[in-house]
Amino acid sequence: MRDAITSLTSSAPTATGLLLQPDDPVCQQDLALDRYDEHFKPYAEEYLALPNRLPETILGWLDRYVEPARDHFGDALLLLSHFYMGGEIVKLVERYGGVVSDSYVLALQAQRNPTKTVIVESAVHFMAETVSILASPQQQVWITNPRAGCTMEMMAKDWMVMPAINQLIARYGDELATVAYMNTSGRLKAIAGRTGGAVCTSSNAHLVVQDVLDTADRVLFLPDEHLGRNTAAKLGIPDEHIVTLPHPSNMPADWTLGDVSGGLERLDAATLILWGGFCGVHTVFEVEQVTWWKDKGWDVHVHPESTREVVQAADGSGSTNYLWNVVSQAPQGAKLAIGTEGHFVQNAIERGRQRGVEVRHLADIPGTPAAGCGCATMSRNDPPHLAGMLDLLRRGEAPDINRVLPGDMIDDSTGLRTRLNQAEQDTLVRDATRALQRMVDITEAAS
């Protein structure tokens, strides 16, 4: 029996307020046919043959697959999507009664909705895996495209991190606790639980790190160096008490802790030990872009996966939900430049337009190369994958590779999966749940 995550008052999802506009073609880029696995190719062929990408065309086609599945599963079906999905997936998932939110709210949806036994997620794999960790044995979690990985999560696979963790534990023992950002596999979340640490998100990282530092002398923060640095700045942890470990690709096989810049002396003085991962989508932003918009009277808000310099130059920083609320609550006439994922900003521009608020992408500066890319891997979940997943599930023919269980690891280039045995899954669920519960407790206590 899995432990329930308790106290969920701040995790209620809200509707995005986005509308499907009949004349606005979908902004989702088509994938080439060879990017679909065999089961999904028939749906992709139909989709790619549609005459246009206008909502009424796509909806007519999608309804043929989604509505029978909704009739078949009734109230047992729950669709989930992240804010970073192309605008139309966000709108389509909401149109079919699903939940669109950030990774914190999504993670808790299985527990919040115990009667939903068929949960289908259109987002990256670690998000679906987190839902599966907190799901009951009666709830099945599926991802529309298992090859939708998060590149940041891929920079800190457990086999990359374990050699460093083992050395750190040998040196510091119980003095060391691990804080795993939500953008990690369940295997790393379990390590956080096992080492007296917790999971965190971009909105609560400062609360979680502070809480963990109340009971441990030092924190290993995985995997985002920039969120780690921004969190340290928020907590007033000085640079001389922060060490970044080299990424495994830059480490020789016989690497030891003594090889960190500054050596063991520096490491012993560190309160925060950072893994050197990053998000390619959020590290494109530069201080000059922030200054350009501010000089023109715009307010700038960025995601804390951006560099510390960018965050400190901006008017505000925070999670996806924070950025959405900035746009949703800004007074009429406000001008906002937002530094985060491109699809999200597209949605925010539309949300702002409804409210008389001008919104631009932070990198959208005339005369400079367009740098506002979206999260390419998240976008691997598209309308054909949604239609195919629901239709295959209804017919009882869903490929097992789309099923998500705790500890699953997918190679996003080969599509091959490594799955833990039942005993290993149970251990992972126990330890990762402990780390997730601690995050929820800390977050709820602060709100």
Residues of the shown chain interacting with ligand SF4 in the complex, contacts defined by CB under 6 A = 84, 124, 150-152, 183, 279, 281, 341, 375, 378
Q: Is the preceding peptide bond at 223 cis, omega within 30 degrees of 0?
A: yes
Task: For ligand SF4, give the closer residue by CB, 108 or 150.
Answer: 150
Task: For ligand SF4, give the closer residue by CB, 124 or 267.
Answer: 124
Task: For ligand SF4, give the closer residue by CB, 279 or 345.
Answer: 279
**Chain-centre distance of CA 11, in angstroms?**
15
CB of 87 to ligand SF4, least distance (A): 15
Task: For ligand SF4, give the closer residue by CB, 77 or 338.
Answer: 338
CB of 281 to ligand SF4, least distance (A): 4
DSSP 236-275: T--GGGEEEPPPGGGS-TT--GGGSTTHHHHHHT-SEEE-
Give the burial class of 88: count Cβ atoms within 10 A of its Cβ; 0-12 exposed, 13-18 middle, 19 or more buried. Answer: buried
Give the burial class of 52: count Cβ atoms within 10 A of its Cβ; 0-12 exposed, 13-18 middle, 19 or more buried. Answer: exposed
Task: For ligand SF4, give the closer residue by CB, 140 or 183.
Answer: 183
CB of 245 to ligand SF4, least distance (A): 19
Task: For ligand SF4, give the closer residue by CB, 338 or 398.
Answer: 338
The answer for residues whose C-beta is within 8 angstroms of residue 421's C-beta and 6 or more apart is none
Closest Cα partner for 285 from 341, 229, 234, 239?
341
Q: For residue 429, what are the CA distances in angstroms to 45, 189, 192? A: 39, 9, 12
CB of 67 to ligand SF4, least distance (A): 30
CB of 237 to ligand SF4, least distance (A): 23
Task: For ligand SF4, give the closer residue by CB, 79 or 156.
Answer: 156
Joined together, the tokens standing for residue 138 give: 């009666």
The answer for residues whose C-beta is within 8 angstroms of residue 127's C-beta and 6 or more apart is 80, 82, 103, 106, 107, 121, 182
CB of 73 to ligand SF4, least distance (A): 27
CB of 82 to ligand SF4, least distance (A): 8
Closest Cα partner for 220 from 252, 194, 251?
194
